[in-house]
Amino acid sequence: MSGKAAGAFVGMVALLLTPAAGAEVAGTTGGSGSAPVVEAPDAPAQTPPSGSGGTPASGRPALSVFEAAPGGAVSLSASRAVVRFQIRDSARRVRVRLAFVSLAGAGTKRVNLGRRRTGVVHSIRRSLAPGSYRVRLTAINPERRRLVRAIAMEVASPAPAPAAATNGLFPVKGPYDFGGPDARFGAARSGHIHQGQDVAAAEGTPVVAPKAGTIHWRAYQASGAGYYVVLDADGENYMYVFMHLRQGSVLVSKGDHVAAGQQIGQVGNTGSSEGPHLHFEVWDGVWYGGGHPIDPLPILKAWEAAP
């Protein structure tokens, strides 16, 4: 596993770097639940004193943390932007707005964040088309004193999956469909985004390994993935994840080596799920170990079209 490399992204611009407590946001599973890693709540951070009581001497809100960076692919046409900020003010909450201004003249995406707590680090994720942006933050306190700051950010074009990943077997052996927009990679979920592609099929439909490889993980998560399996494919940098498998149907254990086309379980409706389907993820690198998920739909369509 040591040869697996996580996808890298270009650097982060920050006014002040302050570590935040909390885990990386996890993928969801076709229902409302989350994948095996969950997000921790925002935590208070250390702030330098400035005026009476540690509040800004000017009476205006002030920034202790302001960062913007790309956060991985959402689809083949968009990437995720991650903005982190911490505001200091005498008020417990201030109104916050973000604006992502395209420097190529492609318009502005505005996000009204409502009233946000001061003194804690907030992380906001939004999908953006590739390009150069000025990220503008506006904070207004109850006394209508205003803070406006902006930083630059570059969002690179997501790289398509290498050909090696598209050479495999379709994992569902029976009638299926890909559902609507809510089933896609990058679809909005409560507090995070969908990190896989849902494949709707009848409960009990066989699920097979698309590639030969070793079972990296097998577990159960009642609040999210249900019964799930992670496959580390031989000779490539990808891991494949199969979630919501039917109870009692999983035929493999951690450490088993499986052949391409070998059955690993059945389509189910376990965990946080709204109907029988396979939630399928593709990770470039180690699953929750430095890798990151990529859009599985182009890969599934290539497998679908294979003879």
**pLDDT at 191 (0 to 100):** 65
Task: Note whether 146 and 114 are same-domain residues.
Answer: yes
Q: Does some domain include residue 4?
A: no
Tell me which of 123, 139, 155 is where a domain ends: 155
Q: pTM (2 decimals)?
A: 0.56
SS3 of residue 65 by DSSP: strand
Task: Note whether 148 and 167 are same-domain residues.
Answer: no
Task: Note whether 117 and 51 are same-domain residues.
Answer: yes
C-alpha 89/C-alpha 295 separation (Å) is 40
Task: Note whether 119 and 240 are same-domain residues.
Answer: no
Task: Note whether 89 and 203 are same-domain residues.
Answer: no
How many domains are contained in the chain? 2
Give residue for tokens 């906001």.
124
**pLDDT at 80 (0 to 100):** 72
pLDDT, averaged per 10 consecutive residues of the chain (307 residues), comes to: 39 35 34 36 36 58 91 62 93 96 91 95 87 95 95 79 82 95 82 86 98 96 94 95 97 97 97 94 92 90 86
- Nearest Cα to Cα of residue 149 among 271, 266, 61, 34: 61
- CATH code for the domain in which residue 122 is found: 2.60.40.10
**pLDDT at 72 (0 to 100):** 60
* Six-digit token string for 122: 């907030």
Tell me which of 155, 186, 215 is where a domain ends: 155
Give residue for tokens 């953006």.
128
C-alpha 123/C-alpha 20 separation (Å) is 9
Q: Does some domain include residue 182?
A: yes
Cα 205 to Cα 1, 116, 125, 208: the distances in Å are 31, 46, 35, 10
The DSSP code for 64 is E
Task: Note whether 144 and 176 are same-domain residues.
Answer: no
- CATH code for the domain in which residue 238 is found: 2.70.70.10
Domain that holds residue 211: 163-305
Contact between residue 86 and residue 124 where contact means Cβ atoms under 8 Å apart: no
Q: Does some domain include residue 11?
A: no
**pLDDT at 14 (0 to 100):** 37
Tell me which of 155, 171, 194 is where a domain ends: 155
**Phi, psi dihedral angles at 297 (to 5 degrees):** -60, -45
Residue 225 makes CB contacts below 8 A (sequence gap 6+) with 29, 33, 35, 36, 219, 243, 244, 271, 272, 279
Burial of 173 (0-12, 13-18, 19+ CB in 10 A): middle
